[in-house]
Amino acid sequence: MATAERRRQAALIAVHTSWANTTDRAARTAAATAASPVSLDYWEAKLRAEGRVREEDIPAAAVNARAAEMRRRALKSADARRRNKTAKQDAARLAASA
């Protein structure tokens, strides 16, 4: 039986081989990109499913929905960085006082 590390290495080789043999990377990832919150298609589909926005307003609303989500993520990321920085400073102070 293969060890976990050996299986991991075999999987990495397979992944890199697969990507090396991919002639059109954009086509390979197109479905995932379209289904991602980065894509306006994602937001348009979400807004249509919710049914709260008129059809003619969906493209503009999708731009706003995506911008709001990206700003939410940026704030969340900044908060996490701030918490991590504070935790590291606290740990350094504790270590220095010990």
Per-10-residue mean pLDDT, the chain, length 98: 90 97 96 92 96 97 97 97 94 87
Instruction: Determine, yes or no, domain membership for 27.
Output: no
Whole-number pLDDT of residue 8 = 96
Whole-number pLDDT of residue 1 = 58
Whole-number pLDDT of residue 2 = 77
Instruction: Determine, yes or no, domain membership for 7.
Output: no
How many structural domains comprise the chain? 1
What residues contact 19, with CB distance under 8 A and at least 6 apart? 25
Question: Domain span at residue 50?
Answer: 34-98
Instruction: Determine, yes or no, domain membership for 56.
Output: yes
Cα 67 from Cα 47, distance rounded (Å): 14
Instruction: Determine, yes or no, domain membership for 72.
Output: yes
Instruction: Determine, yes or no, domain membership for 82.
Output: yes
Instruction: Determine, yes or no, domain membership for 9.
Output: no
Whole-number pLDDT of residue 82 = 96
Instruction: Determine, yes or no, domain membership for 55.
Output: yes
pTM of the model as a whole: 0.69
Instruction: Determine, yes or no, domain membership for 51.
Output: yes
